[in-house]
Amino acid sequence: MTKTVPKELLPVLNKPLIDYIIEELIEAEVNQIGIVTSSKKPLIKEYLTSLTQPHTLLSKYPSVDLQFIYQETPNGLGNAILEAKEFVDNSPFIVCLPDDLVFHHISAVKQLQNKYKSLQHSLVGVVPVPTDKTSNYGIVKPHNRLEEVSFTAEYFVEKPIPENAPSNLAVIGRYLFTSEVMDLLDKYSGLVPDDDLLTKAKNELAQESSVSALRISGTRIDAGSALGITQAAIHELSRQPEEWGQINSFLSLSLIHISEPTRRYAISYAVICLKK
Ligand code: G1P
């Protein structure tokens, strides 16, 4: 399905994934939003800007400046961020990856912003992951004590096998970067493999103790998979008491049905009578 409909437009309950991210930014008063995308995904722009849909987010928030920045070759996250260099114009900026959803009364973006007020340097959001999953993420080696909520990063390793992972703290798709990162991405773009570019920049910041990791509080869901989209929808439903009651009774009925393995005579035939 995602060959036709971009995964950012897949619905999580009653709105697409991309809306959750944009709302998280708008609630955190981030009003200049650049979407780095490919021209092969025109539906995203169409959905977000369509004037024929008065319910679009942008019509709800007219002060938001939404711009589309095109990355024509899929050459990694570092280069995608670099495409937005002119857009962010030497200011500190947030990076969000829509594959990661975080549910918490203080959004992940706000948590980063709050920490930035005291630190004034780049921050990456991290969460603990099972040790056998480290090869899906960038993993941070903390400088000081691992238990702390935030700590300066000694270095980052991109997608290490469990044996080589310096911790179980994985970088998720929420970052707050200073413009220094753009300069480093610019400096190393084309000189290191595309997939290592952002890690190279983060590691150079780490050498100057200019990047910290912040443990993000909340329920973090990998919305890049069908399972994650379902989990996110269930999480959203659980916040709506009326619907949640209905889902609960539906689930308990289904479970009773499923757990009836001893039923002898399975019914495999049906007749459908079509009316004239
Ligand atoms: C990217 C980053 C990785 C990070 C992940 C978070 O990987 O390269 O460091 O942990 O996002 O979602 P990707 O998922 O794009 O392969």
User: Which among 77, 101, 198 is the best mutation to test ligand 1's pocket, defined by most ligand atoms within 8 Å of the CB?
Assistant: 77
pLDDT tens by residue, 63-83: 888 999 999 888 999 999 999
Residue minimizing CA distance to atom 15 of ligand 1: 77
Kindly give the distance from the C-alpha atom of residue 268 to the centroid of ligand 1, in angstroms, as a whole number.
Answer: 46
Q: State residue 263's pLDDT score.
A: 46
Q: Please state the pTM of the whole predicted model.
A: 0.88
pLDDT tens by residue, 45-63: 988 887 556 566 677 788 8
Q: State residue 52's pLDDT score.
A: 58
Assess whether the C-beta atom of 101 lies below 6 angstroms from ligand 1: no
Read off the amino acid at residue 217.
Answer: S
Q: State residue 56's pLDDT score.
A: 65
Assess whether the C-beta atom of 108 lies below 6 angstroms from ligand 1: no
Q: State residue 273's pLDDT score.
A: 59
With tokens 């911790």, the residue in question is 167
- Considering the chain, what is the average pLDDT of its residues? 88
| Residues whose CB is less than 8 angstroms from the CB of residue 185 and which lie 6 or more positions away in sequence, other chains included | 78, 79, 81, 82, 85, 197, 198, 201
* C-alpha pair distances (Å), 118 with each of 11, 81, 111, 121, 213: 37, 24, 12, 9, 14
In the predicted model, residues of the chain with pLDDT beneath 50 are 262-263, 276
Burial of 206 (0-12, 13-18, 19+ CB in 10 A): buried
Kindly give the distance from the C-alpha atom of residue 248 to the centroid of ligand 1, in angstroms, as a whole number.
Answer: 34
Element housing 96 (H / E):
strand 93-96
Bridging pattern class, strands 169-177 and 93-96: antiparallel
Assess whether the C-beta atom of 127 lies below 6 angstroms from ligand 1: no
With tokens 């480093």, the residue in question is 184
Q: State residue 271's pLDDT score.
A: 66
